[in-house]
Amino acid sequence: MRPLARRRNHAMPVTAWKRLVQNWAPDPHSLAYSATVPGSWAVYAIWPLIAVVLATVVVRHRDV
């Protein structure tokens, strides 16, 4: 997988969840591409915010 595709994959909630429930350290050779625990929590903090902003924008456009 290309680095950009890996970064995009790390922004998905499923990947964040898999990293948070992982009870073993990632492979040392893949540390450049593995999701981090703080990054996974950030995904869970940012996704709802994006959803609220997107829903607000879409609803306002439909009401006009």
Say if residues 16 and 43 touch (Cβ distance below 8 Å): yes
- Checking if the pLDDT of 49 tops 90, the result is yes
| pLDDT for the residue numbered 21 | 81
Say if residues 36 and 9 touch (Cβ distance below 8 Å): no
Q: What is the mean pLDDT of the chain?
A: 76
User: DSSP character for 28?
Assistant: G
Average pLDDT over residues 9-18: 80
